[in-house]
Structure 1
Amino acid sequence: MKLKFYIFLFLLTSAVFAQQKQVETSIDTTKNKIGAEFKLTLKTVVSSKSKVVFPKQKTFGPLEVIQSYPVDTVKKDGNYELIKKYGLTQFDSGKYVIPSVTILIDKKPYFSDSIKVEVANVKVDTLQQKMYDIKDISTADEGLGSWWKYVLALLIILGIGAFVYWYVKKRQQKKIEEEVYKTPIEKATSLLNNLEQKELVQKGEIKEYYSELTDIARNYIEEAIHIPAMESTTSELIQAIRTASTKKKMTLTPETVENLERVLRQADLVKFAKSKPLDFEITEDRNKIQKVILTLDNAIPTEIPSEEDELLNEAQRQKQIKLQLKKQRNKRITIAVASVFGLLIVTTAVLIAVKGFTNVKDTVLMNPTKRLLESEWVKSEYGNPGVLLETPQVLKRVDPLKVLPKDAMALIKEMQLFVYGGMTDNFYIAVSTSKFKTPTEIDLAKTLEGSLKVIEAQGGQNIIVKQEDYQTNEGVQGLKGYGTMTVINPLTKSSTKVYYEILLFKQEQGLQQIIISHEEGDSYGNTITDRILNSVELRKASN
Structure 2
Amino acid sequence: MKKLIFFLLLLLSTTIFAQQKRVETSIDTTKNKIGAEFKLTLKTSVDTLSKVVFPNLKNIGALEVIQSYPVDTVKNNDRYELIKKYGLTQFDSGRYVIPSIKILINNKPYQTDSIAVEVTNVQVDTLKQKMYDIKDIQPAPDTIGNWWKYLLAVLLILGIGAGIYWFLKHRQKKKIEEEVYKTPIEKATSLLNNLEKKELWQKGEIKEYYSELTDIARNYIEEAIEIPAMESTTSELITGLRAASVKKKMVLTPETIENLERVLKQADLVKFAKSKPLEFEITEDRNKIQKAILTLDNSIPVEVINEEDTLLNEAQRQKQIALQLKKKRNNRITISVASVLFLLLATTFYLMATRGFDYVKDNLIGHPSMELLEGEWVRSEYGNPAVIINTPKVLKRTDLTKSLPKEGLALVKEMQSFVYGSMIDQFYLMVSTLKYKQETQVDLKKSVEVYLQTLESQGAQNMIVKQEDFETKEGITGVKAYGTFTRVNPENNDRDRMYYEVLLFAQEGGLQQILILHQEGDKYANEISERVLSSVELKHEGR
TM-score, normalisation: structure 1: 0.53
- Superposition map of 1:87-486 within 5 A: 145-183=145-183, 301-349=301-349, 351-352=351-352, 356-404=356-404, 406-486=406-486
- Listed one character per residue, the Cα deviations across residues 265-289 of structure 1 (whole Å, up to 9, x for unaligned) are xxxxxxxxxxxxxxxxxxxxxxxxx
What letter corresponds to residue 506 of structure 1 in structure 2? A
- Listed one character per residue, the Cα deviations across residues 229-256 of structure 1 (whole Å, up to 9, x for unaligned) are xxxxxxxxxxxxxxxx9xxx9669xxxx
What displacement does 1:407 show? 3.6
For 1:519 and 1:405, locate their aligned partners in 2 and report how far apart those are by CA, in whole Å. 28
For 2:499 and 2:457, locate their aligned partners in 1 and report how far apart those are by CA, in whole Å. 17
Aligned-partner SS, 1:316 = helix
What displacement does 1:440 show? 1.5
- Listed one character per residue, the Cα deviations across residues 77-106 of structure 1 (whole Å, up to 9, x for unaligned) are xxxxxxxxxxxxxxxxxxxxxxxxxxxxxx
For 1:377 and 1:492, locate their aligned partners in 2 and report how far apart those are by CA, in whole Å. 31
What letter corresponds to residue 532 of structure 1 in structure 2? V
Corresponding residue for 2:498?
498
What letter corresponds to residue 396 of structure 2 in structure 1? K
For 1:412 and 1:380, locate their aligned partners in 2 and report how far apart those are by CA, in whole Å. 24
For 2:392 and 2:381, locate their aligned partners in 1 and report how far apart those are by CA, in whole Å. 14
Tell me: CA distance 1:403–1:519, structure 2 relative to 1, closer, same or farther (3 Å).
closer
What letter corresponds to residue 175 of structure 1 in structure 2? K
What letter corresponds to residue 444 of structure 2 in structure 1? L
Tell me: CA distance 1:499–1:407, structure 2 relative to 1, closer, same or farther (3 Å).
closer
Aligned-partner SS, 2:154 = helix
Tell me: CA distance 1:345–1:130, structure 2 relative to 1, closer, same or farther (3 Å).
farther
What displacement does 1:417 show? 0.7
Aligned-partner SS, 1:163 = helix
What displacement does 1:349 show? 4.8
Judge which range, 383-392 or 340-349, deviates more.
Answer: 340-349
For 1:357 and 1:408, locate their aligned partners in 2 and report how far apart those are by CA, in whole Å. 49
What displacement does 1:454 show? 1.7
**Structure whose CA Rg is larger:** 2
What letter corresponds to residue 540 of structure 1 in structure 2? H
What displacement does 1:387 show? 0.7
What displacement does 1:340 show? 1.4
What letter corresponds to residue 477 of structure 1 in structure 2? T
What displacement does 1:439 show? 1.8
Aligned-partner SS, 2:454 = helix
Tell me: CA distance 1:224–1:305, structure 2 relative to 1, closer, same or farther (3 Å).
farther
**8 Å CA contact retained: 2:143, 2:376:** no
Aligned-partner SS, 1:394 = coil
**8 Å CA contact retained: 1:420, 1:430:** yes
TM-score, normalisation: structure 2: 0.53
Tell me: CA distance 1:441–1:142, structure 2 relative to 1, closer, same or farther (3 Å).
closer
What displacement does 1:359 show? 2.6
Identity of aligned pairs, percent?
59
Count of residues in Structure 1 that have an aligned counterpart in Structure 2: 324
Unaligned runs of 5+ in 1: 1-125, 132-140, 191-215, 226-244, 253-295
For 1:187 and 1:459, locate their aligned partners in 2 and report how far apart those are by CA, in whole Å. 85
Aligned-partner SS, 2:389 = strand
What displacement does 1:503 show? 0.8
Aligned-partner SS, 2:513 = strand
Unaligned runs of 5+ in 2: 1-123, 132-140, 191-218, 228-243, 251-295
For 1:315 and 1:378, locate their aligned partners in 2 and report how far apart those are by CA, in whole Å. 73
- Listed one character per residue, the Cα deviations across residues 281-308 of structure 1 (whole Å, up to 9, x for unaligned) are xxxxxxxxxxxxxxx9999752133333
What displacement does 1:321 show? 0.6
What displacement does 1:542 show? 4.9
Aligned-partner SS, 1:302 = coil
Instruction: Provide the aligned C-alpha RMSD in A.
Output: 4.0
For 2:347 and 2:302, locate their aligned partners in 1 and report how far apart those are by CA, in whole Å. 62
**8 Å CA contact retained: 2:470, 2:477:** yes
Aligned-partner SS, 1:322 = helix
For 2:142 and 2:452, locate their aligned partners in 1 and report how far apart those are by CA, in whole Å. 40
Judge which range, 298-307 or 330-339, deviates more.
Answer: 298-307
What displacement does 1:356 show? 4.9
Q: RCO higher in 1 or 2 (8 Å CA, sep ≥ 6)?
A: 1
- Listed one character per residue, the Cα deviations across residues 15-74 of structure 1 (whole Å, up to 9, x for unaligned) are xxxxxxxxxxxxxxxxxxxxxxxxxxxxxxxxxxxxxxxxxxxxxxxxxxxxxxxxxxxx
What letter corresponds to residue 165 of structure 1 in structure 2? Y
Tell me: CA distance 1:417–1:394, structure 2 relative to 1, closer, same or farther (3 Å).
same
**8 Å CA contact retained: 2:435, 2:509:** yes
For 1:312 and 1:320, locate their aligned partners in 2 and report how far apart those are by CA, in whole Å. 12
What letter corresponds to residue 503 of structure 1 in structure 2? L
Tell me: CA distance 1:472–1:493, structure 2 relative to 1, closer, same or farther (3 Å).
same
**8 Å CA contact retained: 2:142, 2:376:** no
For 1:129 and 1:184, locate their aligned partners in 2 and report how far apart those are by CA, in whole Å. 101
Aligned-partner SS, 1:475 = coil
For 2:452 and 2:395, locate their aligned partners in 1 and report how far apart those are by CA, in whole Å. 22
Corresponding residue for 1:271?
none
Tell me: CA distance 1:440–1:538, structure 2 relative to 1, closer, same or farther (3 Å).
same
Aligned-partner SS, 1:438 = coil
What letter corresponds to residue 512 of structure 2 in structure 1? Q
What displacement does 1:170 show? 0.8
What displacement does 1:531 show? 0.3
| Pair 1:524 & 2:524 matched | yes
What displacement does 1:189 show? 13
Aligned-partner SS, 1:462 = strand
